[in-house]
């Protein structure tokens, strides 16, 4: 199932099932409430709904305020090689604050007095569906609700200058997510999906999730061994090579840029860079 969150008429926020460019509204305002109701309830509600045209709604981040966004750094071999570093033997974790979440089609904005080196990072994001603590990798898929696209926008000068990554990763608008969550039953193995980024029509990143160094079940196990994962938490699995910072010469985002992150069988996440903040 392809699930989304959207605004429709009088600023109502709804969830729905997307099928053939039609949205079948659900009686829940949050996708995680729908997940708790169960797939049978979702299917029944969608079957009874009057469809809405996709053109008549404003798409929102499918998970609008995740409790935690757990990000994994250095998780593709080519991304490690373009930096000249040895791949880590265990996952490298950091976080993005939930206030950085941005919608499909939303503008990415920043104050140039704060950062002048803003970069893109296409990532496969895992949405947790139920409480997970000390989960074994062999059981990890039982705790996954679905998958979505995420663009881990990064202020490289802040990331490098701070000595840790949280501020450079967490500016407002720096976490576009969506446009849909594809439920886990439709992607039983998320490790053979093409993942690409275009900036202004130029292909910048092109890889496949089979090149993840630490795969999805192992990431769920590693994280849940240290802290509890809760419904709606997101694990974003790292970016492949081709980021702007490591091009020769480096290329950074500017106002007016159009960025597309596309993951096979999930969708296209499109955003633009808006005017600078002052």
Higher pLDDT, 180 or 86: 180
Round to whole Å and give the CA distance between 35 and 31. 6
Q: Report the greatest alpha carbon distance in the chain.
A: 55
Domain limits of the chain?
2-60, 69-273
Round to whole Å and give the CA distance between 79 and 76. 5
Q: Is the pLDDT of residue 28 over 80?
A: yes
Q: Which helix (H) or strand (E) holds 80?
A: helix 77-83
Q: Residue 178's pLDDT band (boundaries 50, 70, 90)?
A: very high
Residues whose CB is less than 8 angstroms from the CB of residue 264 and which lie 6 or more positions away in sequence, other chains included:
193, 194, 195
Q: Residue 191's pLDDT band (boundaries 50, 70, 90)?
A: very high
Which pLDDT score is estimated for 9? 84
Which pLDDT score is estimated for 205? 97
Which pLDDT score is estimated for 262? 98
Mean pLDDT of 35-56: 94
Enumerate long-range contacts of 39-45, CB under 8 Å, 24 or more apart. Answer: 39/1, 39/183, 39/185, 42/1, 42/3, 42/17, 43/1
Q: What are phi and psi of 78, to 5 degrees?
A: -65, -30
**Torsion angle of C-alpha atoms 153, 155, 161, 164, degrees rounded to 10:** -20
Question: Is 24:16 a contact under the CB 8 Å cutoff?
Answer: yes
Question: Is 129:184 a contact under the CB 8 Å cutoff?
Answer: yes
Q: How many helices (H) and strands (E) does the chain have?
A: 6, 19
C-alpha R_g of the chain: 18
Mean pLDDT of 27-35: 91
Q: CATH number of the domain at 69-273, please?
A: 3.90.850.10
Angle in degrees, CA 4, 71, 205, rounded to 5: 80
Per-residue model confidence as pLDDT tens digits over 138-168:
999 999 999 999 999 999 999 999 989 999 9
Residues whose CB is less than 8 angstroms from the CB of residue 257 and which lie 6 or more positions away in sequence, other chains included:
199, 200, 272, 273
Residues above pLDDT 90, as percent of the chain: 91
Q: Is the pLDDT of residue 11 over 90?
A: no
Residues whose CB is less than 8 angstroms from the CB of residue 19 and which lie 6 or more positions away in sequence, other chains included:
2, 46
- Average per-residue pLDDT for the chain: 96
Round to whole Å and give the CA distance between 17 and 197. 26
Q: Residue 217: left if φ>0, alpha if ψ -120 to 50, beta else—which one?
A: alpha
Which pLDDT score is estimated for 259? 98
Q: Is the pLDDT of residue 21 over 90?
A: yes
Q: Residue 91's pLDDT band (boundaries 50, 70, 90)?
A: very high
**Torsion angle of C-alpha atoms 25, 28, 33, 36, degrees rounded to 10:** -60
């Amino acid at each position: 199932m392809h699930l989304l969150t959207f605004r429709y008429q009088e600023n109502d926020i709804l969830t729905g099932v997307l099928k053939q460019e039609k949205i079948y509204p659900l009686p829940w305002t949050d996708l995680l409430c729908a997940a708790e109701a169960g797939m049978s309830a979702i299917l029944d509600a969608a079957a009874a709904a009057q469809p809405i045209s996709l053109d008549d709604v404003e798409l929102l981040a499918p998970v609008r305020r995740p409790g935690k966004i757990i990000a994994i750094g250095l998780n593709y071999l080519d991304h490690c090689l373009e930096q000249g570093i040895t791949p880590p033997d265990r996952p490298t974790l950091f976080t993005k604050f939930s206030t950085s979440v941005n919608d499909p089609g939303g503008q990415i904005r920043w104050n140039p007095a704060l950062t002048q080196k803003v970069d893109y990072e296409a990532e496969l994001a895992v949405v947790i569906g139920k409480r997970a603590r000390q989960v074994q990798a062999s059981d990890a898929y039982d705790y996954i609700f679905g998958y979505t696209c995420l663009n881990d926008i990064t202020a490289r000068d802040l990331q490098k200058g701070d000595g840790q990554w949280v501020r450079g990763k967490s500016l407002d608008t720096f976490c576009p997510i969506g446009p849909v969550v594809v439920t886990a039953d439709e992607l039983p193995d998320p490790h053979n999906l093409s993942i690409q980024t275009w900036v202004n029509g130029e292909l910048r990143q092109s890889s496949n999730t089979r090149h993840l160094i630490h795969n999805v079940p192992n990431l769920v196990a590693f994280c849940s061994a240290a802290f509890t994962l809760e419904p709606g938490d997101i694990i974003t699995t790292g970016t492949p090579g081709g980021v702007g910072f490591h091009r020769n010469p480096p290329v950074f985002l500017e106002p007016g840029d159009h960025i597309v992150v596309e993951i096979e069988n999930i969708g296209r996440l499109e955003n633009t860079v808006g005017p600078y903040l002052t």
